[in-house]
A and B are shown apart, each in its own frame.
Chain A
Amino acid sequence: MSIPSYQLNHLRELESESIFVLREVAAQFENPVLLFSGGKDSILMVHLAVKAFHPAKIPFVLLHVDTGHNFQETIDYRDALVERIGAKLIVGSVQEAIDKGMVREEKGYNATRNYLQTAVLLDSLEKGKYDAALGGGRRDEEKARAKERFFSHRDEFGQWDPKNQRPELWNLFNGRKHFGEHFRVFPISNWTELDVWQYLALEKVELPNLYFAHQRRVFRRDGILLAESDFIPRRPEEEVFETTVRCRTIGDITCTGVWESEAATLEDIIAEVSMARQTERGGRADDKRSETAMEDRKKQGYF
C-alpha cells in the first residue's frame, strides 16, 4: 500500500484560496458586487464564484462599468454568461455620466475614457449601496498592486490609503467597516497571468474569441498595436494594416493593445505566455502615462 499524498498542485491550491475568500465575502458583507469587465480575470472570478457556492446561485450581482468603447465580442460574451449562470447584471455607463455632465471627456489622439471609469464606478457603488466590490486584480500585474491586500479598505470617498492598510495574517480577513465605507476584495491576488491561463485550460472555460489569434485591421502607436475603431482618432501618419493578432488583456478598446500572435488555442496561449518577454500590461496605454500611473489611480478609487 502506498502512502497517500495530501499535496494539492498549485492551481488547485490557488483555486481553494480564492473560493475561501469569495465565501468570506458572502459571509461578512451584506451587499457585495462582482466587478465584471469581460476580461479573462473577471471571467475567472465568475467561474470561481460559481464553484464556491454550487449548487446555489452566486450571491453577487455583476457590475460592468461600461465606457461605451467596447469590442462588440465582449458585450456578446457578457450577456451570454449572465444568462447562463442566472445572475443579475448592472451596467454603470460612462456615456450617461458624460451626457449628464458628471464627468468630462478627454480630447485629442490619446483620449481615453479609462480615467472616467473611476467616477462612474464609485457612483454605481454608492447608488447600489454595495459594501464590497470584488475585483479581478492580481498582485503580479503592476508594482502598486503587489502591495494590495485581499480585503482592501476604502474610505467614504472610495480612496485607497497604501500607507494605512490593515495587516492581513493567516486566513483571517477583517472586513469590519463604518457606515458608508466599503471594501475592494481581490480573491485572485496570488494568481499570475500564466496561472490564469493554465487554470482556464484545465477547467475548459469558454472565452471570448478576442483572446485567440484572428485577422484584424490595426495601426501602430508608440510601439503598441491598437485596433482600428471609430472610437480612436488616428494621426495622419498612422497607417492601418491587417494582420493576425490577439488580445492578452481586454479592456476599453482605446487603451487595449493587441499583439501579433498565431496562438489559436489555450495551449498555444500558455506556450506563448511562458515564453513572453513583455508583461501583459506592457500593451496598456493607461499604465504608460507615468511611472506611478497605477498607484495614483488606485488611490483615487480605481479598480
Chain B
Amino acid sequence: MTEHTELLRFTTAGSVDDGKSTLIGRLLYDSKSIFEDQYEAISKTSEKRGEEGVNLALLTDGLKAEREQGITIDVAYRYFATPKRKFIIADTPGHIQYTRNMVTGASTANVALILVDARNGVVEQTKRHSFIASLLQIPHLIVCINKMDLVDYSEEVYEQIKDDISGFSHKLDVNDIEFIPMSALVGDNVVDRSENMPWYQGPTLLYTLENVHIGSDNNFIDCRFPVQTVIRPYNDEYHDYRGYAGRIAGGVFKKGDRVTVLPSGFSSTIAKIDTFDGELEQAYPPQSVTLLLEDDIDISRGDMIVRENNQPEVTQDLEVMLCWFNERPLQVRGKYAIMHTTKEARCMIKEVRYRLDINTLHRDEENTEIKMNDIARVVLRTTAPLFVDAYRKNRITGSVILVDEQTNETVAAGMVI
C-alpha cells in the first residue's frame, strides 16, 4: 500500500464564517484521522464554552491568541491519509490582512479549496481567494459551496453560484475548476455522498482530492538543477569524489546527458547520478540527488546545472508580481537581499509599474505606495545574474523572496513574469 501512496498538498482559504474549520474538522473526523484524546480535548473545551455539541472547528485553532479571539492568524498544517493518498493541508485564514498567509500556503499547493457560503454566494473574498490561487499557479481549484443545508439544498442556489464564479474565473489563469455542493456541518458530500441532493451527480470532496491528476504538476521538460552544496568526503576511499548535491527543480536528468553549468557556461557530461541507495539512471522533480560530472569544473552553491540546449534566462533585470508581507512599506529604489533557488544576491526595486486591487483586479498606476498585503508588478535589478524561468513555466525557478537586510525579515515574495 505505502509503495503507491501519493502526496497531495492543498490549501484552504475562507473566513471564520464560511465554515472552513468545520470542513477541515469534518475531513479529519470522517476519514478517521482524529484521535480519541484530541476529540476529548475539544469536546471538553466546547462544553466549557457552553457550545451545543462538539465544535470540530476547535481542532484547527492552534495558538492561545487564536482560541481567545476565535480566529486563525497563521498558516497551520494538518495531515490525514487514505489508502490512496497522504494529504497535507495548509490551513490559512481568509481575512484581507492575511493575504500573506494565503500566499504562503498557496506556494506549495497542488489544489486550492475555495469556500463559499451558499447563503451569501460569491463575495469579495471569494474573488480574492480565486485570484491568489491563480496568481500562485495552483494547478487545480475546487469550489466548495458550503452550508447547503441552510438553503434547503437548493439546486438553483448552487447553479447560480457556479455561474457567478465561472463569470469571473475565465478572467483568471485557472485551467481546472470543480464545483461541489456540500454541508460540512452535516457531512453532505465531504466524505460521504449526500442523500439530500439527488440532483448532484458529481463526486464528493474526498473522492475528488483522492483522484485529481497531479502527475503533471511538476515541470518534466526543462532540466534545472540548482546546486545546494558540494560533497567532498576527503577520505581515501572517495579521494576524488566531487558531488553536487541538490533537488531537481525541473526536467528529467539522465546519466550521459550533456549539461551546461551556469553562470560559467562550461559544458560537461553527467557521469553519475548518485544517492545513498546507489546510482540512478535518471532523476526527476522533486528528487534530492547528487550529480557527478565527467570534467573537473569549478562549481559551487548557487550555480545551476541545465541541459546544453535548453537554458533558463540569465538576467539581472526581473519583472515580477510581488506580494508585500511587511509592516514597513516597499521602498522604491530601496535595496534588499534576494533569494532565488539556492542563490543569494542583492537587488534594488527600480520601479512599481502598478498596484493590483485584488478584489476588482484593477491596475492602479497612480497610487503605487505598496503596503503590507498589497500585490504589485515591479521591476528589479539584481547585483548578480539569476537563472530564471517564468513562474508559469516553473514554480521553483520562477520564484524569489526579498529579505530586509537590517531586520532579516522576509518582506516579499515574487513571481517572475
> Which of chain A's residues 102-145 have a Cβ closer than 8 Å to chain B?
139-140, 143-144
Given A55-B233, A165-B74, A190-B88: A279 touches B238 (CB 8 Å cut-off): no
* B63–A176 CB distance below 8 A: no
Contact across chains for A163 and B73 when beta carbons are under 8 A apart: yes
**A53 B231 Cβ-Cβ under 8 A:** yes
- Answer whether residue A13 sits at the interface, using C-beta atoms and an 8 A cutoff: yes
Query: Is B309 close to A, CB under 8 A?
Result: no
Query: Which A residues are CB-close (under 8 A) to B350?
Result: none
- Set of chain B residues within 8 Å of A178, measured between Cβ atoms: 408
Judge if B76 is at the interface, Cβ distance under 8 Å: yes
In the assembled complex, how far is the CB of residue A103 from the closest CB belonging to chain B, in whole angstroms?
A: 25
Residues of chain A within 8 A (CB-CB) of B401 are 169, 172, 174
When the two chains form their complex, are residues B286 and A27 in contact, meaning their CB atoms are under 8 A apart? no
**A7 with B215, Cβ < 8 A, contacts A13-B7, A26-B229, A202-B2 known:** yes
Chain B hits for A174, CB < 8 A:
339, 401, 403, 408, 410
Interface membership of A236, Cβ < 8 A: no
Minimal Cβ-Cβ distance residue in A for B80 = A192
Q: B4 is contacted by which of A9, A17, A19, A170 (Cβ under 8 Å)?
A: A9
Q: Give the residues in chain B near A9, CB-CB below 8 Å.
A: 2-7
A8 touches B301 (CB 8 A): no
The verdict on A88 contacting chain B, using a C-beta distance below 8 Å, is no
Chain B 403-417 near chain A by CB (<8 Å), digits 1 or 0: 100001110010000
Q: Which of A19-60 contact B (CB under 8 A)?
A: 19-20, 23-24, 26-27, 50-57
Tell whether, in the assembled complex, residue A170 and residue B107 are in contact, meaning their CB atoms are under 8 Å apart: yes
Given contacts A9-B5, A56-B232, A139-B77, contact A166 B276 (CB under 8 A): no
- Give which listed residue, B107, B247, B275, B413, contacts A54 with CB less than 8 A: B275
B247 pairs with A171, CB closer than 8 A: yes
| Contact between chains at A8 and B287 (CB < 8 Å) | yes
Query: Which residues on B sit within 8 Å (CB–CB) of A23?
Result: 228-229, 245-246, 288
The residues in B between 257 and 314 inclusive whose CB is less than 8 angstroms from any CB of A are 274-277, 284-288, 290, 301
Residues of chain A with a CB closer than 8 A to B104's CB: 167-169
Within 8 A of B (CB), among A249-303: 276-279, 282, 291-292, 295
Q: Report whether B288 and A147 are in contact in the complex, using a CB–CB cutoff of 8 Å.
A: no
Instruction: Enumerate chain B residues within 8 angstroms of A202, measured Cβ to Cβ.
Output: 2
Docked complex Cα distance between A19 and B65 (Å): 34
- Which residues does chain B contribute within 8 Å of A56, judged by CB atoms? 231-234, 238
Q: Considering only CB atoms and an 8 Å cut-off, how many residues of chain A contact the other chain? A: 62
Question: What is the chain B residue whose CB lies nearest that of A292?
Answer: B64
Can you name the residue of chain B whose Cβ is closest to the Cβ of A198? B2
From B62, B247, B276, give the contact of A147 (CB < 8 A).
B62
Complex Cα spacing A160 to B208, Å:
38
B408 close to A27 (CB less than 8 A): no
Once A139-B79, A172-B401 are accepted as A-B contacts, the answer to whether A162 and B5 lie under 8 Å apart by CB is: no
A291 touches B410 (CB 8 A): no
Whether A192 pairs with B79 at a CB distance below 8 angstroms is yes
Binds A, one of B10-18, B35-43, B177-185: B35-43
Contact in complex: B396, A54 (CB < 8 Å): no
User: Is A185 an interface residue when CB atoms closer than 8 A count as contact?
Assistant: no
A259 to B81, CA, bound (A): 24
Given A7-B215, A51-B276, A56-B233, verify A27-B7 contact (CB < 8 Å). no
Give, as a whole number of angstroms, the nearest-CB distance from B8 to chain A.
9
Q: Pick the residue among A6, A26, A166, A195 that contacts B410 (CB under 8 A).
A: A166
User: What CA separation (Å) do A163 and B63 show in the bound complex?
Assistant: 9
Provide the residues of chain B in CB contact with A147, threshold 8 Å. Answer: 62-63, 74-77
10 A–B pairs (Cβ distance < 8 Å), ordered by A: A6-B252, A7-B214, A19-B247, A27-B228, A144-B62, A146-B76, A147-B62, A167-B100, A278-B37, A282-B37
Question: Knowing that A55-B233, A168-B410, A169-B103 are A-B contacts, what are 14 other residue pairs whose CB atoms are under 8 Å apart, sorted by A's residue number?
Answer: A11-B5, A20-B286, A23-B246, A55-B238, A143-B63, A163-B73, A170-B395, A171-B247, A174-B403, A176-B337, A190-B77, A192-B81, A198-B2, A279-B38
